Chains A and B, each alone.
Chain A
Amino acid sequence: MTEFSFDSLIVFLNRRWDDIFALVAEHIAVVAISLVIALVVGVGIGLLVWDKPISRSIAITSAGVAITIPSLALLAILSPVLGLGWGPTVVALVFYSLLPIVRNTVVGLREVPSHIIESASGMGMTPARVLLQTQLPIAWPIILTGVRVAAQLTIGIAAIAAYVAGPGLGSYIFKGLSSLGSKNALNFALTGTVAVVLLALLVDGLFVLITRYTTSRGLRA
């Protein structure tokens, strides 16, 4: 049982702001690395399976089962193989990012109106060019929505990854738990949790900008 005291929180933040910023940077780094990997893998899978009913169903169903697995269980299974720290964290974050990205890629590619695809092939584009130069740009905002969801998921899961010595703000949350009863327990856990929330909201806003500037110019509203 710890009483909250605003003064002690201010002192706490004053003494450790450099440490906190380092953790925020780590948190952003691990999420960004995982999202880039997941984007490449996820869009790759999406491009491979979007027009094949059976493999599409298998890909989306297995990604759906994957996301049900509790993150602590996955991190624990990965740790004897990949050790502690960044390795299992990145693999786990990529794992959980795949469902929204693969699914939105498939839906995005499939929802391109057929008359647009016909026009593109009518202009003499090969199927591969139609896919990469017509369908993919049109599906891009939808794919990015998937990446945004993945970002929200992974920012939260990265906090749990601190238990297997993963990078980021989760270490402050766990430090709060391990110093339960001490003066700074609440400050540690509160700082870690609030920083994760702020980071998640900030990244969500950032995605609005990313979507705006990476959408093909002809498609911008």
Chain B
Amino acid sequence: MAAIITTETEAIAVRSVIPAAGKGRATRLIRRFTAPIVVVVICLVVFTWISITPLDSIEQRTLNPAYIIARVREHLVLSVTAAALVSVLAIPAGIIVYRSSSRVFHAIIFGLANIGQATPAVGVVILLAIVWQTGFTTALVALVAYSFLPVLRNTLTGLEQVDASVRESARGMGMTPNQVLRRIELPLASPVILAGLRTSLVFAVGVATIATFINAGGLGDMIINGLKLQRFPVLLVGAVLVACIAVLIDWVASLVEDAVKPRGL
């Protein structure tokens, strides 16, 4: 049976282990493709609605393919770059912390991660913009700083939960500590580490929406323009697109997660 949710990261991560409704192949396929199908249907509905609604000049300036594609690209570049940087930085950092095997150090990391999780993303983004500068780089740094600790913590948790007897057997077979890490501990920890990365990716899409406040582009621009100019179609398209991107990215990440998972698990 699936575990209970005890932290926010888990709140997002555990979605992948929802107990299946049925065991049949058909049910599995339906479950697997529900998310993309719903996303496509919603996008089509919104597209049709926009194309039959008469648009005024302000709306036309935003609701055209060139503008929308530019915003989507900014949004994707920001969130994917942030998630990639986090995985390159936080996973090795997690391994180093794990290797240091100092209880105090581990406790400090977990404590810091808890405080980090209590920090509102919008606060981090805006504070950084005030003390440094506005724009894309600031948003990227804020995003990486924000996801760094949760991913590090998941890496540490994943490595720590590896059964001690498994580790001993590996050592007993004559593996060096590095071999144990690469061939035993990391593969066994990979589901937890990947779940952390997936969460940080979904989170990055959400926080990238806020990046509009500090002039870093993305689909948040459309939402904010729609709100400020009271143009509901603009707001709706921006919000629906960003929600669809979040759901789709999460879906792609779940496919990757399944593909990368060691077969024995």
Contacts and interface: CB of A to CB of B under 8 A. Distances in A.
Nearest to A3: B131
Interface residues of A, number: 61
Contacts of B236: 77
B126 A173 contact: yes
Contacts of A153: 8, 11
B189 interface: no
B15 to A, nearest CB: 4
Given A70-B205, A176-B130, A189-B130, A57 B6 contact: no
B223 interface: yes
Nearest to B35: A65
B250 A70 contact: no
A79 B226 CA distance: 11
Contacts of B123: 159, 173, 189, 192-193, 196-197
Contacts of A69: 206, 243, 246-247
In terms of DSSP, what is the predominant structure of the interface of chain A? helix
A24 to B, nearest CB: 14
Interface residues of B, number: 63
A7 B2 CA distance: 51
Given A64-B18, A173-B126, A149 B131 contact: no
A149 B6 contact: yes
B209 A73 contact: yes
Given A68-B246, A100-B5, A108-B4, A73 B214 contact: no
A159 B240 CA distance: 22
Contacts, number: 180
Nearest to A111: B1
Contacts of A180: 129-130, 134
B5 A197 contact: no
A104 B7 CA distance: 12
Contacts of B132: 1
B238 A76 contact: yes
A159 B5 contact: no
Interface of B: 1-8, 10-12, 14-15, 18-22, 31, 34-35, 38, 114-115, 117-124, 126-127, 129-134, 202, 205-207, 209-210, 213-214, 220, 223, 226-227, 232, 235-236, 238-240, 242-243, 246-247, 250
A61 to B, nearest CB: 6
Contacts of A57: 18-21, 31
A196 B120 contact: yes
B129 A149 contact: no
Given A149-B11, A180-B129, A190-B127, 11 more contacts: A57-B19, A64-B15, A72-B223, A73-B209, A76-B239, A107-B4, A152-B117, A159-B120, A160-B122, A177-B126, A197-B120
